[in-house]
Structure 1
Amino acid sequence: MVLVFICISFGVIGLLMMLLFPHIRKYAAGGVCRSQARLDGKTVLITGANTGIGKETAVDLASRGARVILACRDVEKGEIAAAEIRTRVGGAKVEVRELDLADTSSIRAFAQKFLKEVNHLHVLINNAGVMMCPYMKTADGFEMQLGVNHLGHFLLTYLLIGLLKRSAPSRIVVVSSLAHYFGWIRLHDLMSQGSYNSGLAYCQSKLANILFTRELGPRLQGSKVTVNSVHPGSVRSELVRHSTVMSLLFTFFGMFLKTPQEGAQTSIYCAVAEELDSISGKHFSDCTPAFVAPQGRSEDTKRKLWDISCDLLGIEWD
């Protein structure tokens, strides 16, 4: 009897899941960018665009007529992604350039060459990221997640900000995460040398993205360059490859997760939506304004993180 009850229970659950699946998927998909804005004659730079939401963002923006530059650590994978984008979007103007955000010398070399060869930059999407990796350091000795997700993009933006201003109106989109809710900026141990938890280090880096956006926004006032951060949602992607637990959860609860195309919608929205022309320093999710955790609204923390980041990178950003 017990076995029969168990079988019937699983059957009922399975039937309910089949009936509810379309509704679950519709809810999980989240917001959609409705803007029909064209980007003909515009140049877009997307980091980490050889896979996941970065690639889907590139597909969409290329379909709007933009010249899309994929900045990737692995050029071979980038070229494969570029070929796919050209297949999916007829006449797509897409190219690949090498950029390793875990190495400031690579970032500087990339920017130097970029500034010589590219005359305009209208959209910069800081999309690349590392999630829950074992403790590692970048080429410059930074904890990997903070180094790539925050410091690498901080330096890249600093080096390209002049071009963005000259190309104005222009936009910067910073891909953060709901994970910032669980992050704290450990000013006493920013590089997690005293103790390391891969999940908490990831959350700290995503909180740093929020604080960077909120500090940069006012600094760009009057320049016609805007910056906004986004939470793409929980997306089926390669980002969880370092975590067995997260990989299993994403496998079992796949129906509740966004596809990369669905996860790219808010990045696309912040890159093109006409109503955001003068909106800066804000956070978005599902193509609507999103709540920022209290630690992401700390004036003191964002200023201190900004100053520390400049010191670590050896730059002065007024």
Structure 2
Amino acid sequence: MTPADLSRTVLDAVCRAVGAGELSVAVPERVVVTEPGPGGCGDFATAVALRLAHAAGQPPRHVAGILRERLVGADGIEDVVVTGPGFLNFRLAEQVDPVAALVTEIREKGARYGHGDALAGQVVTLRVPYEVRAEVVADAVVRIVGTQGGRATVEHGEPVNLRPVPAPEDPAPLGPDAARWALLHPAPHDRPRITADHLVQREVNPLFRVRYAHARVRSLGRNAARLGFAAEPGPPRTGTGAPLLTPLADHPRILTAAATHRAPDRLARHLVTVADAVLPLLPSVLPVGEEKPSAAHRARLALAEAAGTVLAGGLSLLGIDAPEHL
């Protein structure tokens, strides 16, 4: 179980406690899980009970006890101990390498990594004006809502409930991919820039960085095959991969937030974060000179390919092509 998995498990416990009427609080968007502090124990800890206690009108340790009852015995958790004023401390059922666990999950789920049921059974009606940016945003929202088990429909007419700031001019001359990025990447309240900057093939262009990172990952996979080795999850044994773990683990939360808030810009900006985190890893993926492929090379390739999967899946949800060559 990764820290991201544990965070989602604790958040689910909060949701169930609220649904059962045991806690009367607004469910937080995320739960922070860290290493245990002084006086703590186990593998991980969270202060979520202290965070919720004031709103719940109950002592933090009582809130922690409610959550503990719903967490003991959960998959991957061996024991839960309440310490101090109300910290929840977790001992995991088994210790596995967090990089390998995360990469394995992404490899198994593929393009469906990050999909969930936060909006299961919900039908979202999007009423938009006859305006190009509103149409493009609504189209992306339909797909993103679908990743969380919901269904979105698009209508025209009042009252409008999805009205991003309109594009100042027709984005069509940019081409379909750059045009969509220009309309989706800015927050809805920001005026999009319809300029040739979106076509620049340099690192100053966020869309280029995202697509370039994806194409580089695919190229590394092809070159590794020519060298006779394939990806295999494991510790990459290099510090360059560490910054990539957080955005990859955060991808499910970003998809849920983008669907819940009807905000494809959150996904677009997240893809830029993933691209910027994976690019420094790529030069160390293949052996250099007389170096032979090792377990570390296979692990780095697996980590890079996991990032490529997230980039391709995210671009697809935005309606943008993820080229194999660039």
- Category of TM-score, reference length = shorter chain: under 0.3
Q: With structure 1 as the length reference, what TM-score do the two structures score?
A: 0.24
Select the structure with the greater relative contact order (CA < 8 A; seq sep ≥ 6).
1
Q: Which has the larger radius of gyration?
A: 2
